[in-house]
């Protein structure tokens, strides 16, 4: 009997939440649990190529604002980047389908990239964005992938 | 000018060396956790001390920018 692969798509907010000391414990603990599961191979993480811009852009912003971000943070990003299955524009997702999905689901183009990747690979989309999840649950679009809040990750 | 170029090169080399050290520290710590050489608590202590950083409001402002990108009516989404 083959075992079922546990697949997740994680938003950049999840990765950053694990790094931040000031986030509520449930959020940072959930994010940390997910990273440890990814590292051990218990779950397979899929991310769009855009994830890199989001995380590293966020770190540059943090450093520019004088936050105490060390080289270890960048090294941690590189450690995980090698473990992620990265989905690239024009190879794994196309601008047209994301554009249509964003309009259909009434979310941003950015949100739609993650959701389209989750839909394609059959993964649950994990985010720290409670407002987005509330919106998606209220509207119950029939073709949306499963989505969840990182504070609920066990 | 040449002096300042030399200083920049030296800074770059220092940064790269720092990054290489950081990469090996990260690899070692994850490996130690996977093999059971350290406990999850010990790993978390290392993470809190070496990786995590203070960034009050950082995530919230990132999520607020996402919200703006959705073109949502902020008043309506706040009350929902």
**Which residue in B has a C-alpha nearest to residue A28's C-alpha?**
B52
User: Which tokens go with A72?
Assistant: 């270890």
Phi, psi of B36 (to 5 degrees): 85, 10
Residue B27, domain member (yes or no): yes
Identify the residue among A21, A58, A72 best suited for mutation to test binding to B, counting B beta carbons within 10 A and taking the highest. Answer: A72
ipTM for the complex? 0.88
pLDDT tens digit sequence for A72-120:
999 999 999 999 999 999 999 999 999 999 999 999 999 999 999 999 9
Q: Which residues pair with A7 in a beta bridge?
A: A44
Residue B34, domain member (yes or no): yes
Average pLDDT over residues B28-53: 96
CA distance A99 to chain B (A): 12
Residue span of the structural domain in which B33 resides: 1-38
Query: What pLDDT score does B1 carry?
Result: 56
Q: State the average pLDDT for chain B.
A: 84
Q: Residue A67 and residue B58: Cβ atoms within 8 Å?
A: yes
Phi, psi of B3 (to 5 degrees): -65, -45
If one counts the domains in chain B, the total is 1
Q: What pTM value is reported for the model?
A: 0.89
What are the C-alpha distances in Å from A140 to residues A101, A133, A136, A144, B74? 14, 10, 6, 8, 20
Least confident of A124-133, A137-146, B1-10, B32-41: B1-10
Question: Is residue A74 within 8 angstroms of chain B, CB to CB?
Answer: yes
To the nearest whole percent, how much of chain B has pLDDT over 90? 45
User: Angle A12-19/B58-70 helices, nearest 10 degrees?
Assistant: 170
Q: Pick from A111, A112, A33, A122: which is nearest to A85 by CA?
A: A122
What angle is formed at CA A147 by the lines to CA A146 and CA A153, rounded to 5 degrees? Answer: 115
Residue B75, domain member (yes or no): no
Residue B64, domain member (yes or no): no
Residue B76, domain member (yes or no): no
Q: Return the top range by mean pLDDT from B16-20, B23-27, B61-65.
A: B23-27
Residue B66, domain member (yes or no): no
Query: Which pLDDT band, with edges at 50, 70 and 90, does B79 fall under?
Result: very low
Query: Which pLDDT band, with edges at 50, 70 and 90, does B58 fall under?
Result: confident
CATH code for the structural domain at A7-152: 3.40.50.1010
Give B51's contacts in chain A (Cβ within 8 Å). Answer: 19, 70, 72-73, 76
Q: Residue A70 and residue B40: Cβ atoms within 8 Å?
A: no
Q: Which residue has the higher pLDDT, A1 or A29?
A: A29
Where do the structural domains in chain A lie, given as residue ranges? Answer: 7-152
């Amino acid at each position: 009997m083959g075992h079922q692969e546990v697949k997740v798509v994680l938003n950049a907010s999840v990765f950053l939440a694990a790094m931040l000391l000031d986030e509520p414990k449930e959020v940072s603990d959930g994010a940390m649990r997910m990273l440890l599961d990814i590292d051990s191979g218990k779950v397979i993480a899929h991310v769009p190529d855009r994830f890199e811009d989001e995380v590293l852009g966020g770190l540059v912003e943090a450093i520019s604002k004088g936050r105490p971000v060390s080289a270890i943070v960048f090294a941690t990003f590189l450690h995980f980047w090698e473990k992620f299955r990265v989905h690239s524009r024009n190879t794994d997702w196309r601008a047209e389908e994301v554009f249509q999905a964003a309009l259909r689901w009434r979310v941003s183009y950015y949100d739609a990239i993650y959701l389209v990747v989750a839909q394609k690979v059959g993964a649950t989309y994990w985010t720290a964005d409670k407002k987005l999840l509330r919106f998606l649950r209220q509207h119950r679009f029939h073709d949306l992938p499963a989505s969840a809040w990182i504070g609920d990750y066990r | 000018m040449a002096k300042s170029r030399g200083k920049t090169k030296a800074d770059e080399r220092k940064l790269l060396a720092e990054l290489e050290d950081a990469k090996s520290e990260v690899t070692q710590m994850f490996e130690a956790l996977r093999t059971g050489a350290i406990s999850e608590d010990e790993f978390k202590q290392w993470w809190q001390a070496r990786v995590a950083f203070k960034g009050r409001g950082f995530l919230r402002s990132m999520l607020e920018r996402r919200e703006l990108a959705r073109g949502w009516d902020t008043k309506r989404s706040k009350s929902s």
